[in-house]
Structure 1
Amino acid sequence: MIRIGIDLGADKIRVVTAEEGVIFDEACAVALDQKGNVLAIGNEAKELQGGVDEAISVIFPLALPKIDFYALHALLEQLIYDFKMFKMFKKTIFLFSYPTALNHKDRDELKDHLLEFGAYRVYFDQEIWVAAIGAQLNLFIPVSSCVLNIGSSNCDIAVFSRGEMTRQSQNKVAGRHIDLLIQKWLRQSFRLQVSDSVVEQIKIQLGQTIVQKNPRSMIVEGLDLKNQQLRSIQIDENMLVPVLMPLCEHWANWIYQFLKGLHRDEQEDILMRGLICCGGTMLLKGLKENLQKLISCPVYVTDDPLNTVAQGLETLLSRMESIS
């Protein structure tokens, strides 16, 4: 039996096995030619975006208002081929961790296609569930646990108790808004347009929500919107604090309202056990401290917030019994 876990996101797709862990962790993107043939997937496809060859289409299947199933199927089929997920005389089971944007009809579409393509079984678990498992929480005890997962395109919070998800809420503002705010700030403050890769570097190196005594700085190069010439500026992390702090406050208010709506016993459990957070956005410097201060509740971040969901998939795959 071959068991494959897939963490499906709008920006990233991760492929996991119980034996090897994460075997693919790249952009959820596929490059197609005019006939619909796959030219590249993942980061290689992403690098082709904005190229001069108009015959190449780079598609992020889940990042569109409506899921591009042709592109998604092509991406998954290429992954199946590249990693030899189908083998003679062996059955292949897929376990998907899916974002809230993937509704029941979408999941059925994806499941039917994979079954037709040769999969033996296809299962789906909501990402927040898998995140809770990856955080190594005991979800079956009669005590409430609260998990927050902020990824690039998803933002979910849920309460678990006695093996059930008793409360859940979603927020449309997710991690990608950090990039949007940085781009907007550079345009408005410096009349500078920068690439997505530069924004990513700024976010990783200077993304900050607490003023620092000795702020780090970096040189940023972009297109001057006035004269359309390349121009460089120097920025530091303290300059980003007022840009990103409103995002912290937005999330904190949403979390506070969610916790406020819980039963008293649930609130007491969470105040005692804390809010367990994961997702790559939790790597934003100062976010944990600001959330804890603003919601007046202990906040804990998993050891590897970026890969907590993938770790949850590994755990589930290792627990799955053989299906004959």
Structure 2
Amino acid sequence: MAKDIGIDLGTANVLINVKGKGIVLNEPSVVAIDTHTGKVLAVGTEAYKMVGRTPGNIRSIRPLKDGVIADFDITEAMLEYFINKLNVKGVFSKPNILICAPTNITDIEQKAIIQAAEKSGGRHVYLEFEPKVAAVGAGLDIFQPQGNMVIDIGGGTSDIAVLSLGEIVTSRSLRLAGDKMDASIAAYVKNKHKLIIGEHTAEQIKIKIGAVYEADEKETIEVRGRDIATGLPREVSVTSVEVAEALHETMMAIIEGAKGVLEKTPPELSADIIDRGIMLTGGGALLKGISQLFAAELKVPVLLADDPLDAVALGTGVLLDNIEHHRQY
């Protein structure tokens, strides 16, 4: 008998929740291929280790960009690899799949996600929007007649939504999230320290000393890269204050997006949000001081989910129990 699965198909990571078992897979959304033969050489963690370190005939590809499929065949190969790895298919049956997507994607982009899941081994494929699933995974009861607001800051998109009675009332999806933050950090280090660093290094800076509010000048990290002038390897020290400066523009853009959603929210639901606060989920929610920054700018209490990285995947596990109520394609 096949086991139903929920997939958080993220730009940065793929998480899979198997019904009855919980989250059993969390790997980077990266595939390494041989450009000469087109053969897939590695998927997930193994492929991620190769990013920026491959010879000319090997490419490490992120098949998702800004929360949507940029390379259909590679996405399909990646999903198929992960699903086969979990051994969730029955002898004569395939699993039902609940898969998540950003709120503002087009019908064509939705169909691409559905088709990739079907071709990778799904029987019936159901689509739900990320902020709704993240809210459920964070423990919010979105099925009551009351307003709940969630901001899910992932790798490719930041999804902002107000929910009531199990549905999205108003929402916005911004293609500004973890990847944009990494690029901003790399650009800042290049401009200020005249050092070129890779995306992997920029991500490590963000994870280790990333802060957006009341950053500590004493918190530093040693960073290695290539000197712009000499082309030789060099090491510099980057502070948490510098990272906050690099991330400021992206943070303000997400805050403006949240203000736009709040402005479109019906007054009764706005009153509920003042009482209940805004829930932050996604990897971006782990940045130091982010809840304080959002609370200061939005004038509303802001809460951090207990497990922000896993919120969407945890939400798929809850929703799998009532899978027939979801949108089927």
Whether TM-score is above 0.5 comes out as yes
Select the residue among 186, 194, 199 that pairs with 1:196. Answer: 199
In the TM superposition, 1:209-288 aligns within 5 A as 209-212=212-215, 215-288=218-291
* 1:139-173 alpha-carbon deviations (Å, 9 max, x no partner): 22221111111111111111111222111112232
Matched-pair contact (CA < 8 Å) for 1:9–1:99: no
The answer to which of 20-29 and 48-57 deviates more is: 48-57
Please give the alpha-carbon distance, in whole angstroms, between the structure 1 residues aligned to 2:312 and 2:151: 12
Give the deviation of 1:296 after TM superposition: 0.6
In 1, distance between residues paired with 2:127 and 2:267? 32
1:58 alignment partner, SS class: strand
Q: Structure 1's 197 and 115: CA in aligned 2 closer, same or farther, altered over 3 A?
A: closer
Aligned to 1:57, what secondary structure does the other structure show? strand
Could you tell me which runs of 5 or more consecutive residues in structure 1 were left unpaired when the two chains were aligned.
Answer: none
Summarize the alignment of residues 1-80 of structure 1 with structure 2, pairs less than 5 Å apart. 1-33=2-34, 34-63=36-65, 67-80=70-83
Give deviations 1:237-289, integer Å, cap 9, x for gaps.
12333332333333223222321232221211111111111111011111110
Aligned residue in 1 for 2:154: 151
CA distance in 1, matches of 2:26, 2:246: 29
Whether the 8 Å contact between 1:2 and 1:90 is mirrored in structure 2 is no
- Residues 164-212 of structure 1 deviation map (CA, whole Å, 9 limit, x = unaligned): 2111112232222221121111111111011222212211222122335
Cα pair 1:100 1:154 within 8 Å, conserved:
no
- Larger Cα-atom Rg: 1
TM-score, normalisation: structure 1? 0.91
8 Å contact from structure 1 (residues 22, 310) kept in 2: yes
8 Å CA contact 2:215, 2:244 repeated in 1: no
Taking the TM superposition and a 5 Å limit, the aligned residue runs for 1:123-134 are 123-134=126-137
**TM-score normalised to the size of structure 2?**
0.89
Residue 317 of structure 1 corresponds to 320
C-alpha distance after superposition, 1:217-252 (max 9, x if no partner): 222111100000111112221233333233333322
TM-aligned CA distance change 1:274 to 1:31, over 3 Å: same
The alpha-carbon distance between structure 1 residues 110 and 249, as it changes in their structure 2 partners (threshold 3 A), is: closer
Q: Which runs of 5+ in 2 are unaligned?
A: 325-329
Identity of aligned residues (%): 30
Q: RCO (CA 8 Å, sep 6+): is it higher in 1 or 2?
A: 2
Structure 1 window deviating more from structure 2 (89-98 vs 286-295): it is 89-98
**Matched residue, 2:327:** none
**2:317 is equivalent to residue 308 of structure 1:** no
In 2, Cα distance between equivalents of 1:24 and 1:182: 29
